[in-house]
Structure 1
Amino acid sequence: MRGTRTLEETERTVAEHLAGMPLDLAALAALQNLHRAAAAVRRRLEQTALREADLSWTAFVVLWTLWLDGPRESRDVAAEVGVSRATLSGVAATLERRGLLLRRPAPADRRLAIFEVTDAGGRLVDDLLPGVNATESAAVSCLDDAEKDALGVLLHRVVLGLPRAT
């Protein structure tokens, strides 16, 4: 069994396996690197800024979303965070047990829940933001300001270019 490959070895292996196939290899490389970068930053955040608070990235984003937007229906939070409703339900249950989130039935449809960050959850987001941002800053420290801006614009275009799920 083989250990972890370097990024260069992985890219070389992919190129060898896909040689001659009618694929958009530039799109594949761009999105594979986007995925790798997102996963690496997420892992780093969980190992540093979020570790002491014992929060996963998903739990932090749930709190962040509610902290920014106020109370929201569960399906809207799941869509905003980019997780399934089942995943959100588990994350929300943990946050609720820890006193960081309130859950109440939605008045119009009792199958749905309204989520709201508690005062303690809001304070935790406030406390974590400097460390989260320091980790974000470190992740892109290899880029100059113009490159950071360009990366932000390009990723924004990718997101907007995707068809909305129904």
Structure 2
Amino acid sequence: MHRRSLPPPTVEEKPVSGPRRSITETEQAVRRRLGGLALQHEAMAAVGNIHRAAAAVRQHLENSVLRPHELTWTGFVVLWVLWIWGEAETWSVAEEAGISKGTLTGISRTLESRGLVSRSAHHEDRRRVLLSLTPQGEKLMEGLFPAFNAEEAFVAAPLSAQECLQLADSLRAIVSRLEEHGEQRRRELLDGEKLAPRRSGRRPRP
């Protein structure tokens, strides 16, 4: 089972024209639009709200405690992984952070240029790269994380301590489900076909 530290994708702050639709308004619109289809609406509501909550929390944290330190969400996650697990190979850090090795390369270089992360060759194979926090990186995380946790408490304020634990257990069950059975499910859906390459969504140039 993979260790998971913090969840993935940077959500940029964008100007919104007009009032933003609430989660209740969105759920009502979905019911109106899809009410005639035979769907598992409870599962749809749960997964949809996981996505919406994750995006909202991430945006709040990026635009509050992380911005003064000029950190993106993904940059913070990389620092968190190294702070918790210590020195690690790049492939392991990328897996823990839920990003590609290519994305990690760019982020780690930025963090290295700021003196927060150091790179070194593996003692058994110099082609393998190790990442670790510098003393400056350690100091940043020790000072930053209490403020980060204070915002976690702000986000979770509508829930009691017991409800927070119940929510954590429920989300842990979903993550475990995907870790244990997700790969097999994806193979079944592909029915022997190879997974298509990821597309950016842009049209190919003529």
Give TM-score scaled by structure 2 length: 0.74
SS at match of 1:136: helix
Aligned position for 2:189 = none
**Which residue of the other structure, out of 125, 134, 157, is the alignment partner of 1:141?**
157
Q: Equivalents in 2 of 1:140, 1:92: separation in Å? A: 31
AA partner of residue 127 (structure 1): G
The residue aligned with 1:99 is 115
2:125 to 81, 98, 108: 108
For structure 2, which runs of at least 5 residues remain unmatched after alignment? 1-16, 185-206
Greater C-alpha Rg: 2
SS at match of 2:68: coil
SS of the residue 2:131 aligns to = strand
**Matching of residue 60 in structure 1 with residue 81 in structure 2:** no
One-letter amino acid of the structure 2 residue matched with residue 148 of structure 1? C
Percent identical among aligned pairs is: 41
2:67 is equivalent to residue 38 of structure 1: no
Letter in 1 for 2:97: V
Q: Are positions 1:23 and 2:39 aligned together?
A: yes
C-alpha separation in 2, matches of 1:35 and 1:41 = 10
What root-mean-square deviation, in Å, do the aligned CA atoms of Structure 1 and Structure 2 show? 1.8
CA deviation digits over 1:43-81, x for unaligned, max 9? 111111112111112111111110111111111111111
**Among candidates 119, 129, 154, match of residue 145 of structure 2:** 129
Question: Structure 1 residues 26 and 118 mapped into 2: Cα distance closer, same or farther (>3 Å)?
Answer: same
User: Residues of 1 paired with 2:38 and 2:86: CA distance?
Assistant: 47
Give the whole-Å Cα distance in 2 for the aligned partners of 1:52 and 1:103.
25
Tell me how far apart the structure 2 counterparts of residues 108 and 160 of structure 1 sit (CA, whole Å). Answer: 33
1:142 aligned partner, one-letter code: P
Count, aligned residues: 164
1:76 paired with 2:102, answer no
Aligned to 1:12: 28
Looking at structure 1, the residues matched to 53 and 137 of structure 2 have their Cα atoms a distance apart, in angstroms, of 28
SS of the equivalent of 1:51 reads helix
What TM-score do you get using the length of structure 1 for normalisation?
0.90
For structure 1, the residue ranges without an aligned partner over 5 or more in a row are none
